[in-house]
Homo-oligomer: A and B are copies of this chain.
Amino acid sequence: MSVPSNPYGPNPSDFLSNVNKFEVIESTLREGEQFANAFFTTEKKIEIAKALDDFGVDYIELTSPVASEQSRRDCEAICKLGLKAKILTHIRCHMDDARVAVETGVDGVDVVIGTSQFLRQYSHGKDMNYIAQSAIEVIEFVKSKGIEIRFSSEDSFRSDIVDLLNIYRTVDKIGVNRVGIADTVGCANPRQVYELVKTLKSVVSCDIECHFHNDTGCAIANAYTALEAGAKLIDVSVLGIGERNGITPLGALMARMITADRDYVLSKYKLHKLRDLENLVADAVQINIPFNNPITGFCAFTHKAGIHAKAILANPSTYEILNPNDFGLTRYIHFANRLTGWNAIKSRVEQLNLHLTDDQVKDVTNKIKKLGDVRQLNIDDVDSIIKDFHAEQSTANTPLLKPVSNGKEEDVAEQEAAEEPSAKKQKV
C-alpha cells in the first residue's frame, strides 16, 4: 500500500477505488478468438491457458460451448487442466446456452445481453422485461449448480441509464457474483466511465467487471478510471486481440497499474513472462508486436534525444516511469544518430574501454553528428569514428590544442543504441 508516498497511486478521494486490489479476467481464448486472424487449435488453446495461468491471471474466459462442437470440447479440456485461475465461459442470456455451459466443468458463467436500443432492435429484438425474465431464469439456474455467475449488459454506454440500473439492481438482488459493464463499440471516454461505475456502485453490492473496446484508443485509460470509481475486475486479452481492433491489452494494463501500485502488481503477476506470453499469442495469430506496444514494443525503453539520454544516464527515473527490469527487459541509449549528444557518446567511449577527455568527446560527438546529418548511422559507424579519433589522439602523442566545443549542441542530442538486432529493421 504505497498510497501516501506515490502521487500515481489511488486517488485518496476515491473511497471506493480498487486500483490497488484489481483482478483480471483474461479473454484471449474468448474475445481473442473473435480477432480476425485467430484460429486456435486445442493444443494451442491449452498452451495459452497454461501460460496465462503461470503469468497469474485471476480468471480465464473461454468461447461459448455452443459456438461449435470443438469449442465445447476445448472448454471441457481446459477445465480439466487443474489451473489455479478460475475458468469461465461466456454465453448469451439464454437457457439453451446455460444448460450446455454448466456441464462443461467451468467455475463460472459470464452471461451477456444487449441492452442498447441498437442491439434490442437489430440483434435479439427483445424488450427490457423479456431481458429481465431471461436473466432471472438463467442466473437462478447457474446459481443452482453452485458456480459463479456474472450478468453483463452489452453496449452499456449506449443503453438507457434507467433500464440499466433497473436490471443491475434486479440481478444483484438475486445474488450474482458480478455485474458487467461493456463498452462494446469502444465509444466511452474516461469521465463517462467514472460516472457510470460510480453510479452503479451505489446501486449494487456485488463486484463490478468492465469490458472496454479500443476503437477510439481509450481502453486502457477507461479500465484504470473504472477501477478508480470502484470496479474490481477488468477484461483483458494478450495484446488486446478481439473484435475489430480489440480490447484492453493485458500488458498495457500492467504498465498502467504498476505505476499505481508496484508492490501489488509484482506480488500477483509474473511480469518477466509478459514478453514470452505476447510472443506466444502473436505467433499463434500471425501478427507482429506493435512497434509502440507498452513495455514490449521494440523501443519502449529506448532513449534517443540528447537531453533525454543525458538525464537517463544520470538517473533513469528522469525519463522512465516504468523500470524495464521489472519486466525482464533492459534500456537502450540510442547514440548513433544526429540528435546524439556528448553524454551519450561519452558513455559509449567508456563501454569501448577507451579514454578521452570531455573536450575530446565533444569533438568526436560533432564528427558523429555531421555524418548523422548525411545518412542514417549504425553502431559500427559510430564505433569506427570513435576508434579512429582515439587512435589519432594517441598517435599525435602531444598535448592537444583544439578549438573548444561551444557547447551549443551538448544537450540537444543523445540517443540510445538500438542494440537489439531487430531494432533497425523492425519491418521485415
Q: Which positions in A face B, CB cutoff 8 Å?
A: 7-8, 11, 33-37, 39, 63-64, 66-71, 92, 96-97, 114, 116, 118-119, 121-124, 155, 157-158, 184-187, 189-191, 194, 214-222, 224-225, 228, 239-241, 243-246, 249, 252-253, 255-256, 259, 282, 286-288, 290-294, 297-308, 310-311, 314-315, 317-322, 332, 334, 337-339, 369-370, 372-377, 408-409, 411-413, 415-416, 418, 423-428
What residues of B have a CB within 8 angstroms of the CB of A259 in the complex?
Answer: 187, 216
Beta-carbon contact of A292 and B92 below 8 Å: no
User: In the complex, A415 Cα to B35 Cα: how many Å?
Assistant: 10
What residues of B have a CB within 8 angstroms of the CB of A415 in the complex?
Answer: 36
Beta-carbon contact of B68 and A413 below 8 Å: yes
Known: A221-B217, A243-B305, A294-B216. A66 touches B426 (CB 8 A): no
Beta-carbon contact of B424 and A286 below 8 Å: yes
Looking at the assembled complex, report how far the CB atom of A113 sits from the nearest CB atom of chain B, in whole angstroms. Answer: 10
What residues of B have a CB within 8 angstroms of the CB of A68 in the complex?
Answer: 338-339, 369-370, 372-373, 409, 413
User: In the complex, A230 Cα to B376 Cα: how many Å?
Assistant: 41
| The 7 nearest A-B residue pairs measured at CB | A221-B221, A290-B290, A217-B220, A70-B373, A190-B190, A39-B376, A36-B299
What residues of B have a CB within 8 angstroms of the CB of A300 in the complex?
Answer: 215, 244-245
Beta-carbon contact of A252 and B217 below 8 Å: yes
Closest to A297 in B: B245
CB contact between A8 and one of B69, B187, B220, B320 (< 8 Å): that residue: B187
User: In the complex, A185 Cα to B294 Cα: how many Å?
Assistant: 12
A-B contact pairs, 22 of them (CB 8 A): A7-B157, A8-B189, A36-B418, A36-B423, A37-B424, A66-B408, A66-B412, A67-B306, A67-B413, A68-B409, A118-B317, A118-B318, A185-B319, A187-B259, A189-B225, A189-B228, A215-B320, A216-B255, A217-B221, A221-B222, A244-B300, A288-B291
Closest to A225 in B: B190
Beta-carbon contact of A292 and B214 below 8 Å: yes
What residues of B have a CB within 8 angstroms of the CB of A157 in the complex?
Answer: 7
Looking at the assembled complex, report how far the CB atom of A250 sits from the nearest CB atom of chain B, in whole angstroms. Answer: 11
Could you list 14 further interchain pairs (A-B, Cβ under 8 angstroms) beyond the known A189-B225, A286-B426, A287-B291? A36-B418, A39-B375, A66-B412, A67-B338, A92-B412, A124-B411, A187-B321, A189-B256, A191-B194, A217-B255, A217-B294, A240-B292, A243-B305, A286-B425
